[in-house]
Structure 1
Amino acid sequence: MATHTVTTPPRRRATGHARRQRVGWLFITPFLVIFAAFLIFPLIYAFGMSLFSSTLATGTKFVGAANYLKAFTDPLFLGGLGRVALYALVMIPAQLLVALVAALVLDTLGTWLAKASRLLIFAPYAIPVVIGALMWSFLYSPRFGPAGTIFGLFGLDAPDFLASSAIFGSLVNIVTWQWSGYYMIVIYAALRSIDPSIYEAARVDGAGGWQIATRIKVPMIASSMVMVITFALIGTLQFFTEPTVLRSIASGALPAEYTPNMYAYALAFSYSQFNYASTIAFSLAIVVFIGSFGFLFLTRKQNGLK
Protein backbone atom coordinates (compact mmCIF):
# COMPACT_ATOMS: atom_id res chain seq x y z
CA MET A 1 0.00 0.00 0.00
CA ALA A 2 1.50 3.28 -1.07
CA THR A 3 1.95 6.05 1.44
CA HIS A 4 2.00 9.72 0.66
CA THR A 5 3.81 12.36 2.72
CA VAL A 6 2.48 15.87 2.82
CA THR A 7 5.22 18.49 2.58
CA THR A 8 4.78 22.12 3.47
CA PRO A 9 5.75 24.51 0.69
CA PRO A 10 8.95 26.47 1.45
CA ARG A 11 7.15 29.80 1.07
CA ARG A 12 4.53 28.81 3.66
CA ARG A 13 7.26 27.64 6.11
CA ALA A 14 9.09 30.94 5.66
CA THR A 15 5.88 32.88 6.28
CA GLY A 16 5.17 30.90 9.47
CA HIS A 17 8.72 31.44 10.72
CA ALA A 18 8.49 35.19 10.09
CA ARG A 19 5.17 35.33 11.92
CA ARG A 20 6.64 33.57 14.96
CA GLN A 21 9.58 36.01 14.95
CA ARG A 22 7.20 38.97 14.93
CA VAL A 23 5.23 37.51 17.83
CA GLY A 24 8.47 36.90 19.73
CA TRP A 25 9.62 40.48 19.23
CA LEU A 26 6.17 41.67 20.35
CA PHE A 27 6.59 39.87 23.68
CA ILE A 28 10.11 41.12 24.42
CA THR A 29 9.55 44.71 23.22
CA PRO A 30 8.26 45.97 26.62
CA PHE A 31 11.39 44.61 28.31
CA LEU A 32 13.66 46.16 25.68
CA VAL A 33 11.95 49.54 26.06
CA ILE A 34 12.30 49.52 29.85
CA PHE A 35 15.88 48.20 29.62
CA ALA A 36 16.86 50.96 27.21
CA ALA A 37 15.00 53.71 29.09
CA PHE A 38 16.34 52.91 32.55
CA LEU A 39 19.79 51.47 31.82
CA ILE A 40 21.19 52.00 28.32
CA PHE A 41 20.18 55.65 27.83
CA PRO A 42 21.16 56.72 31.39
CA LEU A 43 24.57 55.06 30.93
CA ILE A 44 25.11 56.85 27.61
CA TYR A 45 24.01 60.15 29.14
CA ALA A 46 26.25 59.67 32.22
CA PHE A 47 29.24 58.77 30.05
CA GLY A 48 28.64 61.92 28.01
CA MET A 49 28.57 63.97 31.22
CA SER A 50 31.90 62.46 32.29
CA LEU A 51 33.55 64.03 29.25
CA PHE A 52 32.56 67.57 30.27
CA SER A 53 33.47 69.93 33.08
CA SER A 54 31.07 72.45 34.54
CA THR A 55 32.05 75.38 36.77
CA LEU A 56 30.52 78.75 37.55
CA ALA A 57 33.57 80.54 36.14
CA THR A 58 33.94 78.74 32.81
CA GLY A 59 30.55 77.13 32.36
CA THR A 60 30.27 73.74 30.70
CA LYS A 61 33.07 72.74 28.38
CA PHE A 62 34.30 69.55 26.76
CA VAL A 63 37.43 68.16 28.43
CA GLY A 64 37.57 64.65 26.94
CA ALA A 65 39.66 62.24 28.99
CA ALA A 66 40.94 64.93 31.35
CA ASN A 67 38.41 63.96 34.01
CA TYR A 68 39.58 60.35 33.86
CA LEU A 69 43.22 61.38 34.19
CA LYS A 70 42.19 63.43 37.21
CA ALA A 71 40.23 60.52 38.69
CA PHE A 72 43.09 58.03 38.50
CA THR A 73 45.37 60.53 40.25
CA ASP A 74 42.74 61.59 42.81
CA PRO A 75 43.94 60.48 46.28
CA LEU A 76 40.37 60.23 47.54
CA PHE A 77 39.35 57.89 44.72
CA LEU A 78 42.55 55.86 44.99
CA GLY A 79 42.15 55.66 48.76
CA GLY A 80 38.62 54.30 48.33
CA LEU A 81 39.89 51.73 45.83
CA GLY A 82 42.53 50.65 48.32
CA ARG A 83 39.91 50.16 51.03
CA VAL A 84 37.57 48.07 48.85
CA ALA A 85 40.58 46.03 47.69
CA LEU A 86 41.42 45.32 51.34
CA TYR A 87 37.80 44.37 51.97
CA ALA A 88 37.97 42.02 48.97
CA LEU A 89 41.07 40.31 50.38
CA VAL A 90 39.30 39.66 53.70
CA MET A 91 35.60 39.34 52.89
CA ILE A 92 35.75 37.11 49.82
CA PRO A 93 37.76 34.31 51.51
CA ALA A 94 35.53 34.60 54.60
CA GLN A 95 32.32 34.37 52.56
CA LEU A 96 33.70 31.54 50.43
CA LEU A 97 34.83 29.55 53.48
CA VAL A 98 31.47 29.89 55.25
CA ALA A 99 29.50 29.08 52.10
CA LEU A 100 31.68 26.11 51.15
CA VAL A 101 31.68 24.53 54.61
CA ALA A 102 27.92 24.98 54.94
CA ALA A 103 27.28 23.51 51.48
CA LEU A 104 29.55 20.51 52.14
CA VAL A 105 27.87 19.78 55.47
CA LEU A 106 24.36 20.10 54.03
CA ASP A 107 25.31 17.91 51.09
CA THR A 108 26.02 15.04 53.46
CA LEU A 109 22.67 15.38 55.27
CA GLY A 110 19.53 13.83 53.89
CA THR A 111 17.01 14.64 56.60
CA TRP A 112 14.54 17.43 57.21
CA LEU A 113 17.30 19.17 59.15
CA ALA A 114 19.15 19.84 55.90
CA LYS A 115 16.14 21.61 54.37
CA ALA A 116 15.57 23.71 57.47
CA SER A 117 19.27 24.57 57.66
CA ARG A 118 19.38 25.67 54.01
CA LEU A 119 16.46 27.99 54.65
CA LEU A 120 18.02 29.47 57.79
CA ILE A 121 21.41 30.04 56.15
CA PHE A 122 19.82 31.58 53.06
CA ALA A 123 17.40 33.79 55.06
CA PRO A 124 19.84 36.73 55.60
CA TYR A 125 20.13 37.17 51.82
CA ALA A 126 16.35 37.55 51.61
CA ILE A 127 16.48 40.49 54.03
CA PRO A 128 16.94 43.85 52.22
CA VAL A 129 20.47 45.14 52.65
CA VAL A 130 19.34 48.43 54.20
CA ILE A 131 17.22 46.66 56.81
CA GLY A 132 20.05 44.26 57.57
CA ALA A 133 22.53 47.11 58.04
CA LEU A 134 20.10 48.97 60.32
CA MET A 135 19.55 45.82 62.36
CA TRP A 136 23.29 45.33 62.81
CA SER A 137 23.74 49.00 63.74
CA PHE A 138 21.38 48.37 66.65
CA LEU A 139 23.24 45.19 67.63
CA TYR A 140 26.55 47.06 67.49
CA SER A 141 25.32 49.92 69.66
CA PRO A 142 27.12 49.84 73.04
CA ARG A 143 24.16 51.62 74.65
CA PHE A 144 21.11 49.91 73.15
CA GLY A 145 22.52 46.67 71.76
CA PRO A 146 22.89 43.33 73.55
CA ALA A 147 26.66 43.81 73.89
CA GLY A 148 26.14 46.31 76.70
CA THR A 149 24.03 43.84 78.68
CA ILE A 150 26.39 40.91 78.09
CA PHE A 151 29.56 42.79 79.02
CA GLY A 152 27.72 44.46 81.93
CA LEU A 153 27.20 41.06 83.54
CA PHE A 154 30.97 40.88 83.99
CA GLY A 155 31.33 44.51 85.06
CA LEU A 156 32.91 45.52 81.75
CA ASP A 157 32.13 48.27 79.26
CA ALA A 158 30.88 47.09 75.89
CA PRO A 159 33.31 47.73 73.03
CA ASP A 160 32.35 50.28 70.42
CA PHE A 161 31.96 48.21 67.28
CA LEU A 162 31.34 51.40 65.27
CA ALA A 163 34.60 53.11 66.26
CA SER A 164 37.25 53.80 63.64
CA SER A 165 39.40 50.96 64.93
CA ALA A 166 36.59 48.39 64.72
CA ILE A 167 34.45 49.51 61.79
CA PHE A 168 36.37 47.36 59.29
CA GLY A 169 35.60 44.13 61.12
CA SER A 170 32.02 45.22 61.74
CA LEU A 171 31.39 45.74 58.02
CA VAL A 172 33.11 42.44 57.16
CA ASN A 173 30.77 40.68 59.56
CA ILE A 174 27.65 42.32 58.09
CA VAL A 175 28.51 41.51 54.48
CA THR A 176 29.59 37.95 55.31
CA TRP A 177 26.32 37.37 57.16
CA GLN A 178 24.33 38.90 54.31
CA TRP A 179 25.83 37.07 51.33
CA SER A 180 27.22 33.74 52.51
CA GLY A 181 23.79 32.10 52.29
CA TYR A 182 23.40 33.07 48.64
CA TYR A 183 26.82 31.70 47.74
CA MET A 184 26.07 28.57 49.74
CA ILE A 185 23.01 27.88 47.58
CA VAL A 186 25.10 28.22 44.40
CA ILE A 187 27.76 25.83 45.71
CA TYR A 188 25.17 23.42 47.10
CA ALA A 189 23.40 23.26 43.72
CA ALA A 190 26.72 22.41 42.06
CA LEU A 191 27.37 19.66 44.60
CA ARG A 192 23.95 18.12 44.01
CA SER A 193 24.70 17.87 40.29
CA ILE A 194 27.63 15.46 40.88
CA ASP A 195 26.88 11.80 40.17
CA PRO A 196 26.63 9.96 43.55
CA SER A 197 28.22 6.88 41.98
CA ILE A 198 31.54 8.75 42.05
CA TYR A 199 31.35 8.90 45.85
CA GLU A 200 30.50 5.20 46.03
CA ALA A 201 33.53 4.33 43.91
CA ALA A 202 35.73 6.48 46.16
CA ARG A 203 34.42 4.75 49.29
CA VAL A 204 35.12 1.36 47.74
CA ASP A 205 38.71 2.51 47.18
CA GLY A 206 38.95 3.41 50.86
CA ALA A 207 38.39 7.16 50.76
CA GLY A 208 36.95 8.80 53.87
CA GLY A 209 34.56 11.72 54.17
CA TRP A 210 37.36 14.32 54.37
CA GLN A 211 39.11 12.91 51.29
CA ILE A 212 35.87 12.81 49.31
CA ALA A 213 35.15 16.42 50.22
CA THR A 214 38.61 17.81 49.49
CA ARG A 215 39.74 15.62 46.60
CA ILE A 216 36.48 14.97 44.76
CA LYS A 217 33.76 17.44 45.64
CA VAL A 218 35.73 20.69 45.74
CA PRO A 219 37.72 20.06 42.51
CA MET A 220 34.54 19.05 40.65
CA ILE A 221 32.77 22.32 41.53
CA ALA A 222 35.75 24.54 40.65
CA SER A 223 33.80 26.38 37.93
CA SER A 224 31.00 27.23 40.38
CA MET A 225 33.57 28.43 42.90
CA VAL A 226 35.07 30.72 40.26
CA MET A 227 31.61 32.12 39.53
CA VAL A 228 30.98 32.77 43.23
CA ILE A 229 34.34 34.54 43.64
CA THR A 230 33.63 36.65 40.54
CA PHE A 231 30.25 37.73 41.92
CA ALA A 232 31.83 38.52 45.28
CA LEU A 233 34.65 40.49 43.66
CA ILE A 234 32.26 42.63 41.61
CA GLY A 235 30.02 43.25 44.60
CA THR A 236 32.88 44.15 46.95
CA LEU A 237 34.43 46.64 44.54
CA GLN A 238 31.02 48.35 44.37
CA PHE A 239 30.70 48.45 48.18
CA PHE A 240 28.14 51.14 49.06
CA THR A 241 24.95 50.33 50.95
CA GLU A 242 26.27 49.00 54.26
CA PRO A 243 28.86 51.76 54.94
CA THR A 244 26.36 54.41 53.79
CA VAL A 245 23.75 53.18 56.27
CA LEU A 246 26.27 53.00 59.13
CA ARG A 247 27.86 56.36 58.29
CA SER A 248 25.24 58.39 60.15
CA ILE A 249 25.71 56.21 63.24
CA ALA A 250 29.45 55.59 63.21
CA SER A 251 30.30 59.19 64.21
CA GLY A 252 33.17 59.95 61.84
CA ALA A 253 34.49 56.45 61.32
CA LEU A 254 33.20 56.41 57.75
CA PRO A 255 34.05 59.52 55.69
CA ALA A 256 32.05 60.41 52.60
CA GLU A 257 34.81 59.07 50.32
CA TYR A 258 35.18 55.77 52.20
CA THR A 259 34.47 53.76 49.02
CA PRO A 260 34.48 54.88 45.36
CA ASN A 261 30.69 54.59 45.10
CA MET A 262 30.25 56.67 48.26
CA TYR A 263 32.65 59.24 46.81
CA ALA A 264 30.67 59.45 43.57
CA TYR A 265 27.43 59.79 45.54
CA ALA A 266 28.86 62.60 47.70
CA LEU A 267 30.21 64.45 44.66
CA ALA A 268 26.83 64.33 42.94
CA PHE A 269 24.39 64.96 45.78
CA SER A 270 26.46 66.89 48.32
CA TYR A 271 28.65 69.04 46.07
CA SER A 272 26.62 69.02 42.80
CA GLN A 273 29.70 67.94 40.80
CA PHE A 274 27.69 65.72 38.48
CA ASN A 275 30.29 65.58 35.73
CA TYR A 276 33.11 64.44 37.95
CA ALA A 277 30.78 62.09 39.83
CA SER A 278 29.99 60.39 36.52
CA THR A 279 33.70 60.12 35.85
CA ILE A 280 34.30 58.45 39.22
CA ALA A 281 31.46 56.00 38.56
CA PHE A 282 32.81 55.02 35.13
CA SER A 283 36.38 54.87 36.46
CA LEU A 284 35.16 52.37 39.05
CA ALA A 285 33.40 50.44 36.28
CA ILE A 286 36.71 50.24 34.41
CA VAL A 287 38.45 48.87 37.52
CA VAL A 288 35.64 46.34 38.11
CA PHE A 289 35.81 45.17 34.49
CA ILE A 290 39.60 44.83 34.53
CA GLY A 291 39.55 43.06 37.90
CA SER A 292 36.81 40.56 37.00
CA PHE A 293 38.18 39.93 33.51
CA GLY A 294 41.69 39.44 34.88
CA PHE A 295 40.44 36.97 37.49
CA LEU A 296 38.45 35.01 34.88
CA PHE A 297 41.51 34.95 32.62
CA LEU A 298 43.71 33.60 35.41
CA THR A 299 41.14 30.93 36.26
CA ARG A 300 40.20 30.02 32.68
CA LYS A 301 41.28 26.39 33.21
CA GLN A 302 38.81 25.99 36.06
CA ASN A 303 36.13 27.48 33.77
CA GLY A 304 36.92 24.96 31.05
CA LEU A 305 38.35 27.69 28.79
CA LYS A 306 41.66 27.69 26.96
Structure 2
Amino acid sequence: MGFFTDTSVCIGCKACEVACKEWNAVPEDGLEFTGMSYDNTQGLGADTWRHVAFIEQSKPIGQNETGVDHGAVEHGTFEHGAAPGAGGMRWLMASDVCKHCTHAACLDVCPTGSLFRTEFGTVVVQEDICNGCGYCVPACPYGVIDQRKGDGRVWKCTLCYDRIGVGQEPACAKACPTDSIQFGPLDELRERAALRVGQLHDLGVEDARLYGHDPDDGVGGDGAFFLLLDEPEVYGLPPDPVVTTRDLPSMWRHAGVAAAALLGGLAAVFAAHGREGGAR
Protein backbone atom coordinates (compact mmCIF):
# COMPACT_ATOMS: atom_id res chain seq x y z
CA MET A 1 0.00 0.00 0.00
CA GLY A 2 1.15 3.56 -0.55
CA PHE A 3 0.56 7.11 -1.75
CA PHE A 4 0.33 8.66 -5.19
CA THR A 5 0.49 12.44 -4.91
CA ASP A 6 -0.67 14.23 -8.06
CA THR A 7 0.82 17.70 -7.68
CA SER A 8 -1.00 18.94 -10.79
CA VAL A 9 -4.23 19.24 -8.79
CA CYS A 10 -2.76 20.35 -5.46
CA ILE A 11 -4.27 23.73 -4.44
CA GLY A 12 -1.94 24.33 -1.51
CA CYS A 13 -4.70 24.32 1.09
CA LYS A 14 -2.51 22.42 3.59
CA ALA A 15 -5.50 20.35 4.73
CA CYS A 16 -3.20 17.33 4.64
CA GLU A 17 -0.75 18.98 7.04
CA VAL A 18 -3.51 19.84 9.48
CA ALA A 19 -5.15 16.41 9.28
CA CYS A 20 -1.80 14.69 9.84
CA LYS A 21 -1.07 16.80 12.91
CA GLU A 22 -4.54 16.33 14.36
CA TRP A 23 -4.71 12.58 13.93
CA ASN A 24 -1.13 11.81 14.96
CA ALA A 25 -0.88 14.47 17.70
CA VAL A 26 2.15 16.01 15.97
CA PRO A 27 3.33 19.22 17.71
CA GLU A 28 2.81 22.52 15.91
CA ASP A 29 5.78 24.01 14.06
CA GLY A 30 5.49 27.55 15.29
CA LEU A 31 4.40 30.49 13.15
CA GLU A 32 7.58 31.81 11.59
CA PHE A 33 8.17 34.06 8.61
CA THR A 34 10.21 31.79 6.35
CA GLY A 35 10.41 34.00 3.27
CA MET A 36 9.11 31.02 1.29
CA SER A 37 5.94 32.48 -0.22
CA TYR A 38 2.91 31.36 1.78
CA ASP A 39 4.68 28.38 3.32
CA ASN A 40 5.29 28.64 7.06
CA THR A 41 6.58 25.11 7.69
CA GLN A 42 9.72 25.04 5.48
CA GLY A 43 10.08 21.27 5.07
CA LEU A 44 9.62 17.78 6.45
CA GLY A 45 10.83 17.12 9.97
CA ALA A 46 10.03 15.49 13.29
CA ASP A 47 7.12 17.91 13.74
CA THR A 48 6.06 18.06 10.06
CA TRP A 49 5.18 14.68 8.56
CA ARG A 50 3.37 16.22 5.58
CA HIS A 51 4.67 19.42 4.03
CA VAL A 52 3.05 21.41 1.23
CA ALA A 53 5.63 23.38 -0.72
CA PHE A 54 4.85 26.60 -2.62
CA ILE A 55 7.31 27.08 -5.49
CA GLU A 56 7.06 30.30 -7.50
CA GLN A 57 8.06 30.32 -11.16
CA SER A 58 7.75 32.67 -14.11
CA LYS A 59 6.79 29.85 -16.47
CA PRO A 60 3.09 29.44 -17.35
CA ILE A 61 2.05 25.82 -17.00
CA GLY A 62 1.53 23.71 -20.12
CA GLN A 63 3.02 26.32 -22.46
CA ASN A 64 4.68 24.90 -25.54
CA GLU A 65 7.21 26.48 -27.87
CA THR A 66 4.51 28.56 -29.60
CA GLY A 67 3.42 30.13 -26.33
CA VAL A 68 -0.02 28.52 -26.50
CA ASP A 69 -1.16 27.03 -23.23
CA HIS A 70 -3.01 23.90 -24.31
CA GLY A 71 -4.23 23.13 -20.81
CA ALA A 72 -5.75 26.60 -20.41
CA VAL A 73 -7.29 26.51 -23.88
CA GLU A 74 -8.85 23.11 -23.21
CA HIS A 75 -10.39 24.07 -19.88
CA GLY A 76 -10.55 27.84 -19.98
CA THR A 77 -8.47 27.88 -16.82
CA PHE A 78 -5.15 26.81 -15.30
CA GLU A 79 -6.83 23.77 -13.77
CA HIS A 80 -3.80 21.49 -14.08
CA GLY A 81 -1.24 22.78 -11.64
CA ALA A 82 -1.12 25.85 -9.49
CA ALA A 83 -2.84 29.07 -10.46
CA PRO A 84 -0.86 31.74 -12.36
CA GLY A 85 0.07 34.91 -10.54
CA ALA A 86 0.81 38.45 -11.64
CA GLY A 87 3.39 38.91 -14.39
CA GLY A 88 3.08 35.38 -15.70
CA MET A 89 4.17 33.78 -12.42
CA ARG A 90 2.89 30.39 -11.35
CA TRP A 91 2.98 28.35 -8.17
CA LEU A 92 3.92 24.71 -8.15
CA MET A 93 2.29 23.22 -5.09
CA ALA A 94 3.29 19.80 -3.84
CA SER A 95 2.57 17.84 -0.68
CA ASP A 96 5.72 15.96 0.34
CA VAL A 97 5.96 13.02 2.74
CA CYS A 98 8.23 10.13 3.77
CA LYS A 99 8.79 7.93 0.71
CA HIS A 100 8.55 4.55 2.54
CA CYS A 101 11.36 3.19 0.36
CA THR A 102 11.33 -0.40 -0.81
CA HIS A 103 15.03 -0.64 0.10
CA ALA A 104 15.09 1.54 3.20
CA ALA A 105 18.52 2.50 4.54
CA CYS A 106 16.96 3.62 7.82
CA LEU A 107 15.97 0.01 8.49
CA ASP A 108 19.48 -1.21 7.75
CA VAL A 109 21.20 1.08 10.26
CA CYS A 110 18.72 1.04 13.16
CA PRO A 111 20.43 -0.82 16.05
CA THR A 112 17.33 -1.30 18.21
CA GLY A 113 14.72 -2.49 15.73
CA SER A 114 12.73 0.67 16.33
CA LEU A 115 12.20 1.01 12.58
CA PHE A 116 10.31 -1.88 11.05
CA ARG A 117 8.54 -2.87 7.84
CA THR A 118 4.81 -3.32 8.30
CA GLU A 119 2.57 -5.89 6.65
CA PHE A 120 1.53 -3.11 4.23
CA GLY A 121 5.10 -2.54 3.03
CA THR A 122 5.42 0.79 4.85
CA VAL A 123 8.19 1.86 7.23
CA VAL A 124 7.25 2.86 10.79
CA VAL A 125 9.19 4.14 13.81
CA GLN A 126 8.33 2.67 17.21
CA GLU A 127 9.07 5.66 19.40
CA ASP A 128 9.08 3.61 22.60
CA ILE A 129 12.03 1.57 21.27
CA CYS A 130 13.99 4.40 19.59
CA ASN A 131 17.11 5.24 21.65
CA GLY A 132 17.81 8.52 19.86
CA CYS A 133 21.11 7.37 18.30
CA GLY A 134 20.26 9.24 15.10
CA TYR A 135 21.92 6.75 12.74
CA CYS A 136 18.85 6.74 10.50
CA VAL A 137 18.93 10.52 9.97
CA PRO A 138 21.93 10.66 7.59
CA ALA A 139 21.01 7.25 6.14
CA CYS A 140 17.80 8.56 4.54
CA PRO A 141 18.49 9.59 0.91
CA TYR A 142 15.60 12.06 1.02
CA GLY A 143 16.47 13.79 4.29
CA VAL A 144 13.06 12.93 5.72
CA ILE A 145 13.89 11.50 9.14
CA ASP A 146 14.50 14.01 11.91
CA GLN A 147 15.08 14.02 15.68
CA ARG A 148 12.68 16.03 17.80
CA LYS A 149 14.25 18.80 19.88
CA GLY A 150 14.11 18.13 23.60
CA ASP A 151 13.28 14.50 22.87
CA GLY A 152 16.09 13.08 20.75
CA ARG A 153 13.97 10.34 19.23
CA VAL A 154 13.14 10.27 15.52
CA TRP A 155 9.64 10.83 14.18
CA LYS A 156 8.17 10.62 10.69
CA CYS A 157 5.11 9.64 8.69
CA THR A 158 3.70 6.22 9.60
CA LEU A 159 1.27 6.28 6.66
CA CYS A 160 -1.32 6.23 9.44
CA TYR A 161 -0.51 2.63 10.34
CA ASP A 162 -3.30 2.60 12.92
CA ARG A 163 -5.89 3.76 10.39
CA ILE A 164 -4.99 1.49 7.47
CA GLY A 165 -4.86 -1.44 9.89
CA VAL A 166 -8.61 -1.11 10.37
CA GLY A 167 -9.43 -0.43 6.72
CA GLN A 168 -9.38 3.38 6.79
CA GLU A 169 -7.33 5.61 4.51
CA PRO A 170 -4.60 7.84 5.95
CA ALA A 171 -5.77 11.14 7.43
CA CYS A 172 -4.01 13.28 4.80
CA ALA A 173 -5.64 11.45 1.89
CA LYS A 174 -9.02 11.56 3.62
CA ALA A 175 -8.77 15.33 4.08
CA CYS A 176 -7.45 16.22 0.59
CA PRO A 177 -10.28 18.07 -1.21
CA THR A 178 -8.93 17.56 -4.74
CA ASP A 179 -7.72 13.93 -4.48
CA SER A 180 -4.19 15.16 -5.03
CA ILE A 181 -3.19 12.58 -2.39
CA GLN A 182 -4.42 9.12 -3.34
CA PHE A 183 -4.02 5.96 -1.25
CA GLY A 184 -4.22 2.33 -2.30
CA PRO A 185 -2.31 -0.68 -3.65
CA LEU A 186 0.86 0.55 -5.35
CA ASP A 187 0.30 -1.42 -8.56
CA GLU A 188 -3.09 0.24 -9.03
CA LEU A 189 -1.71 3.66 -8.18
CA ARG A 190 1.11 3.29 -10.72
CA GLU A 191 -1.39 2.43 -13.46
CA ARG A 192 -3.56 5.39 -12.50
CA ALA A 193 -0.52 7.68 -12.43
CA ALA A 194 0.64 6.60 -15.89
CA LEU A 195 -2.81 7.35 -17.31
CA ARG A 196 -2.78 10.77 -15.66
CA VAL A 197 0.61 11.65 -17.15
CA GLY A 198 -0.66 10.63 -20.59
CA GLN A 199 -3.72 12.83 -20.12
CA LEU A 200 -1.60 15.83 -19.19
CA HIS A 201 0.72 15.27 -22.14
CA ASP A 202 -2.30 15.23 -24.46
CA LEU A 203 -3.32 18.59 -22.98
CA GLY A 204 0.10 20.04 -23.76
CA VAL A 205 1.59 19.80 -20.28
CA GLU A 206 4.75 18.17 -21.56
CA ASP A 207 6.73 18.65 -18.35
CA ALA A 208 4.51 16.22 -16.43
CA ARG A 209 6.50 13.23 -15.21
CA LEU A 210 6.45 10.61 -12.45
CA TYR A 211 8.95 10.48 -9.61
CA GLY A 212 9.65 7.52 -7.33
CA HIS A 213 7.36 5.09 -9.16
CA ASP A 214 10.02 2.89 -10.78
CA PRO A 215 10.79 -0.35 -8.86
CA ASP A 216 14.17 -0.43 -10.63
CA ASP A 217 15.40 2.91 -9.30
CA GLY A 218 18.07 3.42 -6.64
CA VAL A 219 15.72 2.65 -3.72
CA GLY A 220 13.64 -0.06 -5.34
CA GLY A 221 10.72 2.29 -5.87
CA ASP A 222 8.96 4.48 -3.35
CA GLY A 223 5.87 3.63 -1.36
CA ALA A 224 4.95 7.29 -1.82
CA PHE A 225 5.52 8.57 -5.35
CA PHE A 226 4.62 11.76 -7.18
CA LEU A 227 3.47 13.33 -10.41
CA LEU A 228 5.62 16.43 -10.89
CA LEU A 229 5.36 19.34 -13.32
CA ASP A 230 9.08 20.13 -13.37
CA GLU A 231 12.44 18.61 -12.53
CA PRO A 232 12.68 16.93 -9.09
CA GLU A 233 15.31 19.45 -7.97
CA VAL A 234 12.75 22.23 -8.32
CA TYR A 235 10.75 20.53 -5.56
CA GLY A 236 13.81 19.90 -3.41
CA LEU A 237 13.90 16.21 -4.32
CA PRO A 238 17.11 14.34 -5.28
CA PRO A 239 17.10 13.49 -9.01
CA ASP A 240 18.60 10.02 -8.57
CA PRO A 241 18.13 8.82 -4.97
CA VAL A 242 20.13 5.76 -3.98
CA VAL A 243 19.80 3.67 -0.84
CA THR A 244 22.79 4.78 1.20
CA THR A 245 23.47 1.30 2.56
CA ARG A 246 23.61 -0.41 -0.83
CA ASP A 247 27.34 -1.24 -0.40
CA LEU A 248 26.99 -2.72 3.09
CA PRO A 249 26.80 -6.39 1.93
CA SER A 250 29.97 -6.11 -0.12
CA MET A 251 31.68 -4.17 2.69
CA TRP A 252 30.82 -6.92 5.16
CA ARG A 253 32.11 -9.53 2.71
CA HIS A 254 35.40 -7.67 2.30
CA ALA A 255 35.64 -7.24 6.07
CA GLY A 256 35.02 -10.97 6.52
CA VAL A 257 37.71 -11.90 4.01
CA ALA A 258 40.14 -9.49 5.67
CA ALA A 259 39.32 -10.89 9.12
CA ALA A 260 39.79 -14.45 7.88
CA ALA A 261 43.14 -13.53 6.33
CA LEU A 262 44.22 -11.85 9.58
CA LEU A 263 43.22 -14.86 11.65
CA GLY A 264 44.97 -17.14 9.20
CA GLY A 265 48.14 -15.06 9.48
CA LEU A 266 48.01 -15.10 13.27
CA ALA A 267 47.46 -18.84 13.28
CA ALA A 268 50.50 -19.31 11.04
CA VAL A 269 52.62 -17.13 13.32
CA PHE A 270 51.59 -19.06 16.44
CA ALA A 271 52.15 -22.38 14.66
CA ALA A 272 55.64 -21.35 13.57
CA HIS A 273 56.42 -20.10 17.08
CA GLY A 274 55.25 -23.41 18.50
CA ARG A 275 57.53 -25.36 16.15
CA GLU A 276 60.49 -23.22 17.12
CA GLY A 277 59.78 -23.74 20.81
CA GLY A 278 59.57 -27.51 20.29
CA ALA A 279 62.91 -27.58 18.45
CA ARG A 280 64.63 -25.97 21.45
Same fold (TM over 0.5): no
| TM value normalised by structure 1 | 0.21
More helix by share: 1
